[in-house]
Structure 1
Amino acid sequence: MDFSIHVAKVLQIGGLEIWITESMVNSWIIAGILILLALFVRSKMRDPEKVPTGIQNVVELLVDTLDNFSESTMGKHGRKFSSFYAGLFIYILLSNLSGLFLGPNWNPEFPLPVNFMRPPTADVAVTFALALITFFMTQGFGIKSKGVFKWMKDMTEPMVLLTPLNIIGELANPVSLSFRLFGNILGGTIIMGLYYNLPWPALVGIPVVLHGYFDIFAGVLQSFIFVMLSMTFVSSAMD
């Protein structure tokens, strides 16, 4: 069994090696699916004056729900962030759920083609990149909302001696965000990989339950937690 991140292709540009990893390729696949889905939805909603039916009703319900959720979580600032966090949530969710898609030769002894499309979120480089977005949004919108001097003064609260701890706390946020998502998804990937390498009679029926927990339940939960914490960090910085 091999749980490492594989390199799909190495590009030589100006004497530098640029590694295209399977996490990047899988991320592009998921991004492509989301773009095609967005274009499909847009094609069904060309006439804003038309009485909404079918898919437009579903989309409007989802948008309204996400707007209300963002506003309830982030307060008066929430609605302007809802489209960004909705896109982030859907991307992370599909990345987490991609472990459900199987390919050939995971276990040569098993008579059916079973192999994971490795979730991009099982790569700490991906989750840390997402967490850095939240970190820079937190600092950027904090400065925009309060001004540089008030933002710097907040780092010294409640006393100047705690300034180093406040700075460490800010730097720890993207680390905790990234490792929480990465650890949960990678853990599920490893457990499922170990299970699929059992003799094939032990695999009958049980993978459905395990996929239901490690891929669907944990995938949805971790997507929600990541976005909820990201929204909380940004809104707190702006208050």
Structure 2
Amino acid sequence: MTHSHSHLGVNKNEPLFLVRTPRLSVGSGDIILLNGTDKLETPLASVGALELKSTKACAAELRLKPRPGGSFTQPVEINMTVGIQNKYQFTAPVGPNGQHETFEWRRSTGELVRDLPGGFQYGMKLVRLDGATGGASSNGKVTVVGGDGKRIVAIFAAVRPQCTSAKFRFMNEGATGELGEVFELAAMISFMRLFKLQLSQGGVAIGPGSS
């Protein structure tokens, strides 16, 4: 078998989605998020290596597909690029008006990562680069921000020797639904890509970094 399957959900007893991951090295196949927990479910999102001459090998293409009753009706393709200090950026339409905003995965050793169940020391935080900084979210709750005041909308951790699982959590407006379904799918499938990089390349994605 060239693929393995794992679940994404609230916990191991409450799976929501099935994830199909290539067993071979990164770049040999796509990671696919299925729309449910059965192997016969239709793909909801996938991610694979972005093959452009001017990009680094870790760059990726996120491909999102509409689902029945979802908020978008046409497939969406998003490029995730790699910058300095292993920062990963993607731009996605957000909210009811589909305004494009840029988000960035950054390495982190902060309290948000350490507070995830599992005793993790390193991870990544997804920050919202556009829009207001700090302050409060639209529902009036205080917004957790990074060192530069950018809003944190998701976090994950998966750095342990021979780790076989990761912890992922939406934060602030990322968790309220106000950023929309396209953002949520892009955040999840990009997290899966970075987790795969961590397993395959010995920490290139989320080794020790900024807080």
TM-score under structure 2 length normalisation: 0.24
User: Between Structure 1 and Structure 2, which shows a larger proportion of helix residues?
Assistant: 1
Indicate the structure whose relative CO is greater, using CA pairs within 8 Å and at least 6 residues apart. 1
Give the number of the structure whose alpha-carbon radius of gyration is greater.
1
TM-score under structure 1 length normalisation: 0.22
User: Between Structure 1 and Structure 2, which shows a larger proportion of strand residues?
Assistant: 2
